[in-house]
């Protein structure tokens, strides 16, 4: 009989000093966040005003949700190079369904969002099937499926266009009790992660990522856990696609291309090693915000367009090095 006790046999509660050492990578990512916040505040003095916070969160939220999905997969010992393809597919499916069912009805909007999320979960589960059941290398299998999802996106919407559902567009820009709706959506993403982490599946996730053979020997369904992990990652990629659609208010069959590498960078900056088993999605949220703020720095520093990617890459490398320094100090402690 499988239960949470099996996972607890593998993941014992560490003593306090060990907990502090394990927190060093996340603390390092917070240090990186503090640094880029200071630079942003210098270049953008109104950074902490409500309109700017709303604008930044609306822009950062798709990457935040996608980074959480990638972190879940990485924690289990996997990786998903098709994140951008799934996000793109959700974007074009949502816009296309809105074009068929109407862009003004709340019910049709809800239906289009749910169908788009189901598409994302199905894509994630298919990735999981290839990796967990067919034993294909995750980096190869998901690299290949990324072309499948991007190809399907181009088949659904060959050129940029279409219109996002109006209720979704308005919701993304609304405020409740003076608080921007994107703040509540961010809380929703974090809450979903907290629920997962505290569940039996969350225990299994860390157990499989930490030592798959020991988890299997303890009777944990390693194959099923890995497959479900990709499905959960697909759900968060789907949320990212919905948020992205609400933000840009249209469809684009190439919109998600740069997001895959950004999700991986966010996970690493957040203190989760690509080997899996340790870390968490909270760090990925911090990493995604760091990447968004780096883009702001590039923009407000008036860097010429043809240098922007180069400078951004150098800053990301520096952020990764600082985060890696935190992990190095943890290992030497």
pLDDT of 5 strictly over 50: yes
Between CA 249 and CA 231 the distance in angstroms is 26
H-helix or E-strand spanning residue 179? strand 179-180
pLDDT of 324 strictly over 70: no
pLDDT at site 301 = 85
Burial class (CB in 10 A: 0-12, 13-18, 19+), 23: middle
| Extents of the domains making up the chain | 24-332
The larger pLDDT score, comparing residue 13 to residue 142, is at 142
Could you tell me the fold of the domain covering 24-332? ABC transporter involved in vitamin B12 uptake, BtuC (1.10.3470)
The one-character DSSP state at 14 is: P
The one-character DSSP state at 13 is: P
Between CA 254 and CA 159 the distance in angstroms is 9
Q: What is the pTM of this model?
A: 0.89
Whole-number percent of the chain with pLDDT over 70 = 89
pLDDT of 127 strictly over 50: yes
pLDDT at site 21 = 63
Q: What helix, strand, coil percent values describe the chain, rounded to 5?
A: 75, 0, 20
> pLDDT of 165-190, one tens digit each?
999 999 999 999 889 999 999 999 99
H-helix or E-strand spanning residue 175? strand 175-176
> pLDDT of 233-250, one tens digit each?
999 999 999 999 999 999
């Amino acid at each position: 009989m499988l239960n949470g006790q099996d996972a607890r046999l593998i993941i014992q509660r560490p003593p306090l000093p060990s907990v502090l050492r394990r927190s060093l990578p996340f603390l390092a990512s917070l240090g990186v966040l503090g640094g880029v916040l200071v630079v942003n505040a210098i270049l953008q003095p109104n950074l902490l005003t409500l309109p700017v916070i709303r604008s930044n969160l609306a822009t950062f939220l798709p990457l935040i949700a996608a980074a959480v999905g990638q972190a879940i997969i990485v924690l289990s010992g996997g990786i998903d190079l098709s994140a951008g393809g799934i996000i793109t597919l959700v974007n074009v499916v949502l816009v296309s369904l809105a074009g068929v069912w109407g862009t003004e009805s709340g019910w049709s909007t809800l239906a289009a969002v749910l169908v788009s999320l189901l598409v994302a979960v199905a894509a994630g589960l298919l990735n999981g099937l290839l990796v967990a059941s067919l034993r294909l290398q995750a980096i190869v299998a998901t690299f290949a499926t990324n072309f499948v999802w991007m190809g399907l996106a181009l088949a659904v919407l060959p050129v940029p266009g279409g219109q996002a559902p109006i209720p979704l567009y308005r919701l993304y820009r609304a405020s409740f009790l003076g608080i921007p709706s994107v703040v509540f959506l961010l809380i929703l993403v974090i809450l979903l992660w907290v629920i997962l982490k505290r569940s039996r599946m969350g225990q299994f996730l860390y157990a499989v990522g930490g030592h798959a053979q020991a988890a299997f020997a303890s009777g944990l369904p390693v194959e099923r856990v890995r497959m479900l992990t990709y499905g959960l990652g697909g759900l968060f990629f789907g949320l990212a696609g919905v948020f992205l659609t609400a933000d840009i208010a249209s469809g684009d069959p190439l919109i998600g291309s740069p997001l895959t590498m950004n999700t991986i960078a966010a996970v690493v900056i957040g203190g989760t090693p690509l080997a899996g088993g340790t870390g968490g999605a909270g760090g990925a949220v911090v990493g995604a915000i760091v990447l968004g703020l780096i883009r702001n720095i590039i923009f407000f520093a008036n860097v010429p367009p043809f240098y922007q990617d180069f400078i951004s890459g150098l800053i990301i490398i520096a952020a990764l090095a600082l985060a890696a320094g935190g992990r190095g100090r943890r290992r030497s402690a």
